[in-house]
Structure 1
Amino acid sequence: MRAFLFGALALLAGSIVPVGAWSAELIMIEEPGCPWCRAWNEQIGVAYPKTEEGRRAPLRRVDLTEPWPEDLKDIRPERVTPTFILVDAGKEIARLRGYPGENFFWPLLDEMLDKLDSRQK
């Protein structure tokens, strides 16, 4: 039993996120009736929280038709939906306007996360 537990812990160790790494989030600006938001939700949204990217930058949805959140006051609001804004410690790192389709979204998100990595070094 002990060997099993140590083996399980060793497997999990690769997915442990260091303390402080949770300050980043991916803000998704969306609005009701947005067909590109719907496409993103169907193609990416279901899987996103289960991915490494989703763990590094959890998704936070902001409805364009609602008042801009107070804690994002230093982030420039957007009019295009969907827009994805990578934020770390209250500062914008990168922005992606629109949804280019699932084949392009992941590489573009990786570029955004690379900017986050270079900022944290």
Structure 2
Amino acid sequence: MERIRITLAALAVYLGAALSAVAAPQLVMVERDGCHWCETWNEVIGPIYPLTPEGKFAPLQRADIHDGAPDGMQFARAVSFTPTFILMEEGDEIGRIEGYPGEDLFWMMLEKLLKDKTDYGAGS
């Protein structure tokens, strides 16, 4: 009986973590091979993104433009340009940035998107 209780408790913790990961905002970068602007983003922003407050709040997931939305996610409309950054919550698109406008504008647009569409920055 004790073994069953421990197993159920472990399962509850695992499922809780999995559900919170799905519910947490994610940023999906839709890219394609040979995309100059994707490569530029990957060189300039890619290495630091996970270390930033934005990256910690909305972790990056990548998707190829030819593959569509990642499993368990649904885009509101087709992606026409790369890179396109799609803000997802609970598997649904809640906003996007089309193209890479350069480092400064990217951060400004991402911060605005996060503040407008999520509770990002609410606790600060």
Q: Could you say whether these structures have the same fold, taking a TM-score greater than 0.5 normalized by the shorter chain as the test?
A: yes
Aligned to 1:78: 79
Query: 1:91 Cα deviation (Å)?
Result: 2.3
Alpha-carbon distance in 2 for matches of 1:67, 1:86:
15
Asked if residue 93 in structure 1 is aligned to residue 101 in structure 2, the reply is no
Q: Measured at CA, do residues 35 and 76 of structure 1 come closer, stay the same or move farther in structure 2, by a change above 3 Å?
A: same
Aligned to 1:117: 119
Query: 1:67 Cα deviation (Å)?
Result: 4.7
Query: 1:74 Cα deviation (Å)?
Result: 5.1
How does the TM-score come out when normalised to structure 1? 0.74
Alpha-carbon distance in 1 for matches of 2:40, 2:93:
25
Segments of 5+ residues of structure 2 without an aligned counterpart are: 1-19
- Identity of counterpart residues, as a percentage? 45
How does the TM-score come out when normalised to structure 2? 0.72
Matches within 5 A, 1:49-60: 49-60=50-61
| Cα deviations by residue, 1:9-34 (Å, 9 ceiling, x for unpaired) | xxxxxxxxxxx486110010000000
Q: Is the 8 Å Cα contact of residues 68 and 77 (structure 1) preserved in structure 2?
A: no
| Equivalent AA in structure 2 for residue 107 of structure 1 | M
Alpha-carbon distance in 2 for matches of 1:50, 1:68:
25
Q: Measured at CA, do residues 68 and 92 of structure 1 come closer, stay the same or move farther in structure 2, by a change above 3 Å?
A: closer
Aligned to 1:28: 29
Segments of 5+ residues of structure 1 without an aligned counterpart are: 1-19
Count of residues in Structure 1 that have an aligned counterpart in Structure 2: 101
Secondary structure of 2:96 counterpart: strand
Q: Is the 8 Å Cα contact of residues 93 and 112 (structure 1) preserved in structure 2?
A: no
| Equivalent AA in structure 2 for residue 31 of structure 1 | R
Aligned to 1:12: none
